[in-house]
Structure 1
Amino acid sequence: MTWFATPLGAVLVLFILRDVFHTLWHPTRHGGLSRLVMVSLWWLSARLGTRRRPAGLAGPLGMVTVVAAWALTVAVGWGLIYWPHMPEDFSYAAGLVPSEHAGPLDALYISLVTLATLGLGDIAPTSGWLRVLAPMEALVGFVLLSATVAWLLGIYPALARRRALALRLSHVRRSRATAEALDSDGGAALLDGLTSALSTITVDFLQYAESYYFHDGDENTSLPGQLGYAVGLADQATAARHPDVRLSASVLRRALEDLATVLDERFLRTGGGPDRVFAAYADDHGQPQAPGRPPEGGGSGPS
């Protein structure tokens, strides 16, 4: 059966490289493994009791699990490639009996040492094609390390932008800005700023889909809990007398619809409009939605 090991190992390595490519460098679609791990952990966290506490670990734990699965599967795949060619195509250090170090665990050991670029050299390939293949595994190991760092450096700023937008919406809601106050140049500028931030968040969900599975915790920094207020704000401003406010409200409404489309197509699949999608988004993250409309008139003040 060892003849089957080499093609099976090659398939495993290619599967992981494809998954890394689709997860990090072609993020318009989920990588198969990364999506499966993230969705499974998110589903499990929702069934462990109080959602707020366990769900907070789903995103970070999912990333760790995905990276570990990538590294382990690549190591196993390359080990399966090496195994049928041991011990004939390998040289052994003095004191090692080749026939006693030619099993699958020894092949996995060689693979792990090579993937981690340790270069211990106690067992090394001697045939031509294996001497070319081993450095390629070391190169893949370096790519996996670099990809992991790039993934971390991309996802956490995306989370910060999402939470900053939620906090900004919370500030507007808690300031009790009235419809009359919004019907002004300042109101138009406020709506434009929210539209710009929403567009960035929409792109973040396309670029870093795994960020969906991170729980924000505090209701004031949780975007799922604030989007209902953003919808109400856009609806209220649509009836403003100021033409710039009406235009800004219309653009804000389009930005909210685009975000709802991305959330629904990639994660929720409700098939409904923005209100239904945002309600499902809030429910999926265990957050109540904020009230949807600002007060009709009067002054502003703290809640």
Structure 2
Amino acid sequence: MEWLVSLVGAGLVMISLRDLFHTLWHPTRHGGLSRLVMTALWRLARRFRARRRVVGLVGPLAMVTVVGMWAGTVILGWAIVYWPHMPESFAFSPGSKAAQEPALLDSLYLSLVTVATLGLGDIAPGEGWLRVVSPLEALVGFALLTATVSWVLAIYPALTRRRVLAIRLALLRDAEPTTQQIDCTAGALLLDSLATEVVRVRIDFTQYAEAYYFHDGEDHSSLAAMVGYAAALAQRGQTARQPEVRLAGDLLAGALRDLAAILDQRFLHTGGTPADVFAAYAADHGRAS
């Protein structure tokens, strides 16, 4: 029975590590516990009247919640591993009152101290296999901290690339380029560069799906609001007279179709055309495309 309880704890740890792996290093369209948390917070925030202010907090709060969920599951799982073997399989420092506490409380304390790599030493594993398992928890705690920092450092550049593209599209819309300005070599270069930026954003949505749940603020920095203008530019390029402009327009249109496919598969599930997907994307972010 003791080993069965310990296996349950090990299962909780593995669930947390699997979710961390698929969120940070091997994202899949099926998501995991982290995606469920983020989606639930996003949908809940959209119900509030002061929607823009609340939705703007979803991304950061969701990341904090997910990291807390990972850490809490690891701590609880390892505590359950220790629990059936506490206190007889552990050594306590002289004068320590830890052995007088409930076994579950001591197990939680030891797990928390170990995962935080504090190593206070007032409770130490005595059996051989526990002396191996306990340092492994410290390694997992160190990996969790490193992964969290890496996640934060990676997500914000992805958000910057998305907002830069949106602002660039807003500036182009305000400049109102003429047909002659689009139907030339400079226009071809412009459409080609936009296609490259759209592809980068598409990759960001694949690699960092949680970026979807970050609100972009004002309309001119919101890709949800500006992506429709990118589609209009692609259509103008496709009907141009210059062959290099038509090619660049096709590239931009293809990049936008690919982006729409990713948005629909992972987040929106409309099953419609790229125009339908972009309209749903704008509506989901409280924008008019």
Q: How many residues align?
A: 289
Shift of 1:29: 3.8
Partner of 1:25: 25
Partner of 2:189: 189
Compared CA separation, residues 99 and 141, structure 1 to 2 (3 A): closer
Asked if 1 retains the 8 angstrom alpha-carbon contact of 2:93 and 2:122, the reply is yes
Shift of 1:265: 0.3
Matches within 5 A, 1:53-68: 53-68=53-68
Shift of 1:106: 1.1
How far apart, CA to CA, are the structure 2 residues paired with 1:38 and 1:30?
13
Asked if 1 retains the 8 angstrom alpha-carbon contact of 2:92 and 2:99, the reply is no
Asked if 2 retains the 8 angstrom alpha-carbon contact of 1:56 and 1:216, the reply is yes
Shift of 1:274: 0.7
Partner of 1:11: 11
Partner of 1:70: 70
Partner of 1:268: 268
Asked if 1 retains the 8 angstrom alpha-carbon contact of 2:113 and 2:120, the reply is yes
Shift of 1:80: 0.3
Asked if 1 retains the 8 angstrom alpha-carbon contact of 2:29 and 2:265, the reply is no
Asked if 2 retains the 8 angstrom alpha-carbon contact of 1:79 and 1:107, the reply is yes
How far apart, CA to CA, are the structure 1 residues paired with 2:62 and 2:130?
34
The code of the aligned residue for 1:53 comes to R
SS state at 1:91 partner: strand
Q: Please, which moves more after superposition, 23-32 or 279-288?
A: 23-32
Matches within 5 A, 1:274-285: 274-285=274-285
SS state at 2:63 partner: helix
RMSD (Å) for aligned C-alpha atoms: 1.2
Compared CA separation, residues 41 and 142, structure 1 to 2 (3 A): same
Asked if 2 retains the 8 angstrom alpha-carbon contact of 1:90 and 1:127, the reply is yes
Identity between Structure 1 and Structure 2 (%)? 57
Question: Structure 1: which 4+ aligned runs deviate by more than 6 Å?
Answer: none
Shift of 1:286: 0.4
Partner of 1:231: 231
Any gaps of 5 or more consecutive residues in structure 1?
290-303
Shift of 1:31: 4.3
How far apart, CA to CA, are the structure 1 residues paired with 2:168 and 2:21?
34
Partner of 1:214: 214
Partner of 1:45: 45
Shift of 1:133: 0.3
SS state at 1:177 partner: coil
Asked if 2 retains the 8 angstrom alpha-carbon contact of 1:21 and 1:31, the reply is no
How far apart, CA to CA, are the structure 2 residues paired with 1:21 and 1:98?
35
SS state at 1:287 partner: coil
Partner of 1:127: 127
Question: Can you list the C-alpha shifts for 1:173-201, whole angstroms capped at 9, x where unaligned?
Answer: 00011122101111101000100000000
Shift of 1:28: 3.0
Matches within 5 A, 1:95-110: 95-97=95-97, 99-110=99-110
How far apart, CA to CA, are the structure 1 residues paired with 2:38 and 2:162?
19
The code of the aligned residue for 1:151 comes to W
How far apart, CA to CA, are the structure 1 residues paired with 2:278 and 2:98?
63
Any gaps of 5 or more consecutive residues in structure 2?
none
Partner of 1:116: 116
Asked if 1 retains the 8 angstrom alpha-carbon contact of 2:99 and 2:106, the reply is no
Compared CA separation, residues 100 and 2, structure 1 to 2 (3 A): farther
Compared CA separation, residues 98 and 176, structure 1 to 2 (3 A): closer
SS state at 1:117 partner: coil
SS state at 1:124 partner: strand
TM-score by length of 2: 0.97
How far apart, CA to CA, are the structure 2 residues paired with 1:249 and 1:227?
15
Asked if 2 retains the 8 angstrom alpha-carbon contact of 1:170 and 1:226, the reply is yes
Question: Can you list the C-alpha shifts for 1:36-63, whole angstroms capped at 9, x where unaligned?
Answer: 1100110111011132110000010000
How far apart, CA to CA, are the structure 2 residues paired with 1:28 and 1:133?
30
The code of the aligned residue for 2:121 comes to G
